[in-house]
Structure 1
Amino acid sequence: MRVAVRRGIEFAIWMLVGVIASRTWCLDGLPLPISIDSNSMAPTLLGPHRRIVCADCGFRFVRGENRRAADTRAVCPNCGYAGNDATQGPVSDGDRVLVDRATFQFRLPRRWEVVAFRTPGREKEWSTKRVVGLPGESVALRDGDVYINGAILRKTLEQQKATSVLVHDARYAPHRCTPAPPRWRPDSPESRWSCQEGRFVHAASQDPEAIGWLSYRHWRRVPGQPEQVLEGPVLTDPAFDLERRVPAGAIRPTSDLRLSFRWVRSAGSGWLHVRAVDGQMEFVVRIHAATRRAELLCNGSPLPISMPHGPVFDALPASVDISLFDRQLLVAIAGRTIAAYPYERTGPAPPISRPPFSLGGADLSLEVDQVRVFRDAYYEAPPGGPNEWRLGAGSSDRGEELFVLGDNPLFSNDSRNWPAGARLTLTALVGKPLFAWGATEEVACKGWRFRIPNITGFRYIR
């Protein structure tokens, strides 16, 4: 009997030691979930919010919950319909986060990595943001882009996906409440494009040299006249916290856009063309359907960059991504980047007068779906504040410093706007957020009640 009791006590002690060690050195957020209480990192991490289904296009979107907001209408970020009931559905608490406390004991944070840290000036509070500047670097924000030591910071495809904001998803067309023109439209009746429920089909022309174009035309609804739309450039208005007032002058036109679609099938020996325009430069990506090789053109001339000599994908269907983020043409087929061409321009891009993206078929029948347009996060310095920062590298008076930004920059309290003297040093890091989940379930066991994560809502934090 005594042996059994002793073993039971030893087991309980070792279990307690294991929990303490895990919480101290390895993981935070599982025994006591760490909750996100704002939408400064949306859509990567969500604070209190409601999930709303647009009554016009059926698109499902998230609206940040502000309990003091009097507006009971929600604007759909996909079609702009402003008559959605903002009170539909329950208020969801902020995401729960699992934090790995060990990673940064062995290495520095990487650029564009999400980190958890004690908030400068309010050390009892924790924050989560994305790292852009490392110790010893200078950071500047110009025209929405990040510059490190005077050079623009360009992202990989995975980094772009982590910070992208959805502008339009062609699978959700407005038709239930108010009439609106499709955003993807043929350039002419001879283009031979048709659309059905977000799937676009091109029929081959009798002329093998003719390119039939389907172009994206961005429009916005006229306030107070939902049946009227105005075509224009993509703007940097927020896709989250739509009930909060946006600072005057904070919304700007942008040409940092990304097109993503799936090439489903094709027939013929012609070419798929994808055209991307940033206001000053026109790029065309040509993919031959039979040989599956690719070519790149800039303003009508071949680009002087190295390209794969063989097929750029194995078989259809295949995903296609074309982006103009950070003054760089990036082309990825089937998840593999085949070209990254940096280019320069003087000053911000002028408003786009031509469609930013077009799809074309020449001597080819083809079908594409899952067509979506994204924009990049647009970072600006606060009005009246600095637009360049020098980070400490570990000197006697300043520790090794990091520069962090939120994914929802219009409503993020980060390195741009902390009080003077408030800086994030490596010693303030808590750990690396690994997973987030938005739903928990209460479980009762012998009088004890626990909240455990619903594994169906788990997602890895990019």
Structure 2
Amino acid sequence: MATPEELTITAEVSPPLSVPKRSKRLPRVSEAQFTRIARISVATVATLVLLLMLVRLWFIDGVFRTIRIEGPSMAPTLLGAHYHLTCDDCLFEFRVDADGAARAPRIVCPNCGYREVKLEEAERLAGDVVVMDRWPLLIGSLRRGDVIGLSQPGMPELAVKRLAALPGETWSAVDGDLVVQGSRVSTLLRHDLTSRLSTVYDHNHPSRHISNVDRWLRPTENHWKITPGKLVFDDQNQTSARENGSPKPADRLPVQWLAYQQWTTWESPAPRTTLSEVLDNDSYNPDSSRLMTRLRDLFFEAHLTSSGAGTFAVKLRDESKTFQVAISPDTQLLQLFDGTKLVYEKKLATNLERGGMLLAGLIDRRVLVAWNGRPIIEHPYRDPIAVRGKIMDPVAIGASNVSLTLTEVRIRRDNVIVPPATFADNDSEVRLGADEIAVLGDNSAVSVDSRSWPLGSAKTSSVRGLVYRPFWIAPRSAP
């Protein structure tokens, strides 16, 4: 028997396996194969996009069939059948509701008060084309201010209104403003301020039959020159505008004023040149018995070019309160006075000699000043004390020791007025339930909405979709 030391083991080792090397080069794709893959990819993506578009369009009514607005309740945002008229006297263009015009004894120009505007030669225009989008209901994205379509019991057609208050909120109307949860929110009803404003008077369209100077009152003879389409002030006495080498405060300058005066530009037995307060007249409703209350939210708008060491000012009145917006051309300093108290000042980053569009006015208990469309001042103030007598000079402009030219001069007004007098239960405040909303028509003089509905509200389940003018429809021509 062999010992361990004598044991010999012989093993045959196999040669190592040969592993083929991988080629680093990918298989070559022929041009035909690449074209085929590209076509399949493009077709797949296009099919998916088309399917998504079809699904999205399925939620939009009005794409394949025309939906038109009927009636005046959403004017001027959405118009029903209407006429686009031009005044024979001042050539001012405006619109009137077609059905209301047929019932009215005559059509009155809202700019100059001309009482014989011809309707016979005007073309009757169809209502706006809109679509109704149900997608926002699916994703729950309706917001206050949206224009919606909703159904109401006993109404065969959908009503188009603006969403004013949401479920669970308390809402009311105070002095023409929408108040929700104790705060004025009517600004939210129109996202674009310019769409909220309508023209009370356009100085570019003076009466050709009556002197237009009567629309501007000069308390005493001064340096103001009034011509059609232009207001000019030229006072070269610059020395009195400075005190120890620095500009005097605006409230201490001897300002020469020019006050706007309102004519009777609505149906009335009085001559149109009869002076009046600026009242809540809406020319779109020529047959409406609108409650003619005094307007408080008025604006002065003009293209301003100015130079000099003095000041240009805009005076605005809201009942017992008087505000003054003062601009110094040489320092570009803008100041806001509440009475005689300086409450705000800011230096403008602009050269007034080059000119720009100025908009200054009152809206929703705020003083708003904008330059070239950009807000500069938005100053809130408390409710003023009501004035019993008439306010005949709600807007005035003044200047001292400057040279300035004003063109494109207009007096404008806030068109969002919510009269509370039509509440069905004479209650000025309504609390909404968890499944209720409040809606209003933009044309509140004639709109039948939550103010007059028996419950003062509508059910959330009655909303059918968001209503808007589609992008493929050409915008309306001016005005």
TM-score in terms of structure 2 length: 0.77
Q: Over the residues paired in the alignment, what is the CA RMSD in angstroms?
A: 3.3
* Deviation sequence 1:238-294 (CA, Å, 0-9, x none): 22121x2415xx22112221222221x222232221111112111111112123221
Aligned counterpart in structure 1 of residue 120 of structure 2, from 63, 87, 94? 87
1:345 aligns with 2:383: yes
1:367/1:289 CA distance change after superposition, 3 Å:
same
2:348 aligns to what?
A: 311
Q: Which amino acid aligns with 1:258?
A: F
Q: Distance in 1 between matches of 2:177 and 2:88?
A: 35
Conserved? CA contact 1:46–1:95, under 8 Å? yes
Q: Distance in 2 between matches of 1:61 and 1:214?
A: 27
SS in 2 for 1:375: strand
1:200 aligns to what?
A: 231
1:246 aligns to what?
A: 289
1:234 aligns with 2:278: yes
1:96/1:432 CA distance change after superposition, 3 Å:
closer
Conserved? CA contact 1:254–1:351, under 8 Å? no
SS in 2 for 1:58: coil
1:73/1:14 CA distance change after superposition, 3 Å:
farther
1:404 aligns to what?
A: 439
Kindly report which structure 2 residues correspond to 1:364-379, keeping only aligned pairs within 5 A, or say none.
364-376=402-414, 377-379=416-418
Kindly report which structure 2 residues correspond to 1:26-425, keeping only aligned pairs within 5 A, or say none.
27-66=60-99, 69-71=102-104, 73-106=106-139, 108-111=141-144, 113-121=145-153, 125-153=157-185, 155=187, 158-176=191-209, 181-190=213-222, 192-206=223-237, 208=241, 209-220=253-264, 227=271, 229-242=273-286, 244-246=287-289, 250-263=291-304, 265-303=305-343, 305=344, 307-308=345-346, 310-313=347-350, 316-345=354-383, 348=386, 350-376=388-414, 377-381=416-420, 382=422, 385=425, 386-393=427-434, 399=435, 401-420=436-455, 423-425=458-460
Conserved? CA contact 1:72–1:86, under 8 Å? no
Deviation at 1:146, TM superposition (A): 1.7
1:228/1:45 CA distance change after superposition, 3 Å:
closer
Conserved? CA contact 1:277–1:354, under 8 Å? no
Q: Which amino acid aligns with 1:234?
A: V
* Deviation sequence 1:68-114 (CA, Å, 0-9, x none): 93546311111111111122221101011244443454454333x23
SS in 2 for 1:220: coil
Deviation at 1:432, TM superposition (A): 4.5
* Deviation sequence 1:176-212 (CA, Å, 0-9, x none): 4x5665323433221x122333221111242544322
Stretch deviating more after TM superposition (402-411 or 418-427) = 418-427
1:119/1:204 CA distance change after superposition, 3 Å:
farther
Deviation at 1:328, TM superposition (A): 1.6
Q: Distance in 1 between matches of 2:331 and 2:70?
A: 52
Q: Distance in 2 between matches of 1:99 and 1:458?
A: 23
Q: Distance in 2 between matches of 1:270 and 1:179?
A: 30
1:446 aligns to what?
A: none
Conserved? CA contact 2:73–2:443, under 8 Å? yes
1:4 aligns to what?
A: none
Stretch deviating more after TM superposition (68-77 or 34-43) = 68-77
Q: Distance in 1 between matches of 2:283 and 2:261?
A: 19
Deviation at 1:56, TM superposition (A): 1.2
Q: Distance in 2 between matches of 1:24 and 1:346?
A: 52
Conserved? CA contact 2:320–2:386, under 8 Å? no
Deviation at 1:47, TM superposition (A): 0.6
SS in 1 for 2:195: helix
Conserved? CA contact 2:266–2:281, under 8 Å? no
Query: Hey, which of these two has a bigger chunk of strand by percent?
Result: 1
Unaligned runs of 5+ in 2: 1-43, 242-252
* Deviation sequence 1:48-76 (CA, Å, 0-9, x none): 01111111111011111118935463111
2:36 aligns to what?
A: none
Conserved? CA contact 1:286–1:295, under 8 Å? yes
SS in 2 for 1:404: strand
Stretch deviating more after TM superposition (324-333 or 94-103) = 94-103
SS in 1 for 2:454: coil
Conserved? CA contact 1:81–1:221, under 8 Å? yes
Aligned counterpart in structure 1 of residue 58 of structure 2, from 18, 24, 32? 24
Unaligned runs of 5+ in 1: 1-9, 394-398, 437-452
TM-score in terms of structure 1 length: 0.80
Conserved? CA contact 1:435–1:458, under 8 Å? no
Q: Which amino acid aligns with 2:153?
A: G
2:34 aligns to what?
A: none
